[in-house]
Structure 1
Amino acid sequence: MIDVYLFSGFLGSGKTSLLMNTIQQLKEEGKKPAILMNEFGSVSIDSDTVEKSGNIPMKELLNGCICCTGSENTEAQLQALLEDYDDIDVIIIETTGAAHPVEALDAIYSPLFADRLNVMGIVTVVDTKRWVERESLSPQIRSLFMEQIRHAHLLLANKADLLSEGELSTTTMELSNLNSNAPIIQTEHAKIAFSFIEKTLRNADHSLSHPILSGKHLPLSSKLFTFKEKVSKEQFEEFVRSLPETVYRMKGYVPIQGANYPYLFQYAYGMVNWLPEYVNVKPNLVIIGEGLDQIDFDSFQTQN
């Protein structure tokens, strides 16, 4: 199992500074990190900075956001990292500032290698100066900014040195009101001990049946379900329709009664999609949402 950390945050918040600080600390600990960087444009900028830090395995996603058109490419790049390097200790994924956290998690969860990755959670870097001035943003951009905060597992209130004591106190309280589950750490230049990030996320209540999750009491969690037998397509769809709106994504390979090979199943925004497969793949299903521990996923396992 390789620990995976997703670094999120709005444009210019300090994600790359956090990444560089983390790489240096991991190297000093004798660990070998690998990096997946998402650049919105066609020219790599931040990755040049990473390359200067030494021999770090790295893959890039260019010309798109990890959370939309880059989803399939994300899976391919992660697969390449796992196949090309067999001594990786940690994978860090830096998203673009335009990435929605739910979509980003969806992009990195593949049923093909879900059992090899331990996704620790989302560390969101908050530009506190921009937060104070957020009313100047367009409604759409402001909504994305707030969504990145709401779904974080750990919040870094960055650029704290640019605010007055009163502004910083108010900002911290407002961030806490928006996401009461995530610890908030005030930082300058995104400087924080990676050991603290690791300990904070690892000590979350990982009480689900598989370690690939983000924590029982955190905003977003995930579950890897492995089918033990074939299921009825109709009964499975009926179960899916009964799920609460807090189940955002489901994707994987579902073994269907009467079919020789599992079907590729995808669920998003209440819509389901089935595609036939023509090879045997692991019957794994990845579920992403909130409050997953309250849902009995075993109930749709049909008895023969």
Structure 2
Amino acid sequence: MQTTKIPATVITGFLGAGKTTLIRHMLTHAKGKRIALIINEFGDLGVDGDVLRGCGAEACREDDIIELTNGCICCTVADDFIPTMEKLLARDSRPDHIIIETSGLALPQPLVAAFNWPGIKTQVTVDGVITVVDSAAVAAGRFADDHDKLDAQRMADDQLDHHSALEELFEDQLTASDLIVLNKADLVSDEAIEAIRADIFAHLKRTPAVIVSRNGEVSPEVLLGLGVGSEDDIANRKSHHEMEHENGEEHDHDHDEFESFIVEFGAVADPAGFQNGLKAIIAEHDVLRLKGFVAMPGKPMRMVVQAVGSRIDSYFDRPWGADEARATRLVVIGLHDMDEASIRSGLTALGG
């Protein structure tokens, strides 16, 4: 029976939209519900998993947080996700709910389809797919797509490649959703929110629910218990990748368009200068996303840094562990042609 299945919520959204913040808030307001987390990172430093472990929520114990760091979850479903789910379901004490946070570069559709796997479908159902949107970024035009203008440019110069992997990913994440969270609404006007809402629906055939949030503060009662059974509706959520294959076009979904690397150095003596330097490096090299932990002399707690575009958020999350090296470690994510050597050099210089 459907009621005997464990509900699973897939949380997707572009880099820096606020998925981890949303989950932190959910865990701290879970009211006794035991939640298992499966987190898919892009890059080798498990920032999101470490941040969630430090939130102190009873709803999610240490052994209920599982990180998949072998690549994008949509490309490693058979190798990583299916075995992880099977191990989770084989436990004597099973969770009340499963939350899956995809990387910002993942297509949700292959993941949702994986819930039709015979060993999983009888035990778990997709309660819903939630897409978190960075309202401020969209309002600034970073992920808006003027199709008519692009078509005109193609007609004018067929030697130019105007295809945007970022636009395509963003639209695919919206297409798969049952609930869209327009996050960071405090950074834009009410008029901008309505414009974003209208633009989203102009690109979708389906009509998912839309809510507005600030700082990822959405009640678990709103996010959990949607009861959609999204895996049974996968045919209506096709990605660009799937549609292009149906049309006979050759298109590989890989992440050659994106690169990530880790920069590690010592403590940061000047926090204000550090953040100003980060802004300059991000702007100069068009870094999509930067996140990690910062050590500061004389500070017993580590500082979490999350940056998307020119916006940088930082806060102290927990004391450094006795066995931890107090070092600054940052993950940098950008397009494949970013100048890694210059970015690495610039960031390391900020630790002086």
1:118 pairs, out of 125, 129, 132, with: 125
2:74 pairs, out of 36, 42, 67, with: 67
1:52 pairs, out of 42, 54, 65, with: 54
Structure 1 residue 49, shift from structure 2 partner: 1.4
* CA distance in structure 2 between the partners assigned to 1:187 and 1:148 by the alignment: 18
> Structure 1 residue 16 and structure 2 residue 20: aligned?
yes
SS of equivalent to 2:173: helix
SS of equivalent to 1:134: coil
The within-5 A match list for 1:222-241 is 222=234
The within-5 A match list for 1:248-287 is 269=245
Q: Output the amino acid matched with 2:10.
A: L
* CA distance in structure 1 between the partners assigned to 2:143 and 2:67 by the alignment: 33
SS of equivalent to 2:100: strand
Judge which range, 129-138 or 139-148, deviates more.
129-138
Structure 1 residue 178, shift from structure 2 partner: 2.9
8 Å Cα contact 2:10/2:102 also seen in 1: yes
1:134 pairs, out of 138, 142, 153, with: 142
SS of equivalent to 2:172: helix
SS of equivalent to 2:80: helix
2:42 pairs, out of 40, 43, 59, with: 40
* CA distance in structure 2 between the partners assigned to 1:85 and 1:35 by the alignment: 17
8 Å Cα contact 2:109/2:237 also seen in 1: no
Deviations 1:29-61 (A, max 9, x none): 211100100012222111011212342412111
SS of equivalent to 2:118: coil
The total of aligned residue pairs comes to 215
> Structure 1 residue 162 and structure 2 residue 187: aligned?
yes
Residue 211 of structure 2 is matched in structure 1 by 185
Structure 1 residue 87, shift from structure 2 partner: 3.3
SS of equivalent to 1:59: strand
SS of equivalent to 1:113: helix
The within-5 A match list for 1:281-300 is none
Q: Output the amino acid matched with 1:6.
A: V
8 Å Cα contact 1:33/1:90 also seen in 2: yes
Q: Quick one: structure 1 residues 247 and 36, their matched pair in 2 at CA, closer, same or farther if it must change by over 3 Å?
A: closer
* CA distance in structure 1 between the partners assigned to 2:214 and 2:143 by the alignment: 23
8 Å Cα contact 1:154/1:183 also seen in 2: yes
Q: Output the amino acid matched with 2:46.
A: S
Structure 1 residue 131, shift from structure 2 partner: 1.6
* CA distance in structure 1 between the partners assigned to 2:85 and 2:94 by the alignment: 14
* CA distance in structure 1 between the partners assigned to 2:67 and 2:144 by the alignment: 32
1:100 pairs, out of 99, 103, 107, with: 107
* CA distance in structure 2 between the partners assigned to 1:128 and 1:53 by the alignment: 25
Structure 1 residue 13, shift from structure 2 partner: 0.3
Structure 1 residue 6, shift from structure 2 partner: 0.3
Q: TM-score, normalised by structure 2?
A: 0.56
Residue 221 of structure 1 is matched in structure 2 by 233
Structure 1 residue 174, shift from structure 2 partner: 1.5
Judge which range, 29-38 or 106-115, deviates more.
106-115
Residue 299 of structure 1 is matched in structure 2 by none
8 Å Cα contact 2:115/2:126 also seen in 1: no
SS of equivalent to 2:196: helix
Q: Output the amino acid matched with 1:79.
A: E
* CA distance in structure 2 between the partners assigned to 1:163 and 1:82 by the alignment: 42
Structure 1 residue 5, shift from structure 2 partner: 0.2
Residue 172 of structure 1 is matched in structure 2 by 197
Q: Quick one: structure 1 residues 109 and 130, their matched pair in 2 at CA, closer, same or farther if it must change by over 3 Å?
A: farther
Q: Quick one: structure 1 residues 135 and 73, their matched pair in 2 at CA, closer, same or farther if it must change by over 3 Å?
A: closer
8 Å Cα contact 1:176/1:184 also seen in 2: no
* CA distance in structure 2 between the partners assigned to 1:87 and 1:24 by the alignment: 20
Structure 1 residue 136, shift from structure 2 partner: 7.8
Deviations 1:154-191 (A, max 9, x none): 00011111112321221122223334511110111111
* CA distance in structure 1 between the partners assigned to 2:116 and 2:93 by the alignment: 19
In structure 2, runs of 5+ residues without a counterpart are: 146-162, 247-352
Q: Quick one: structure 1 residues 146 and 110, their matched pair in 2 at CA, closer, same or farther if it must change by over 3 Å?
A: same
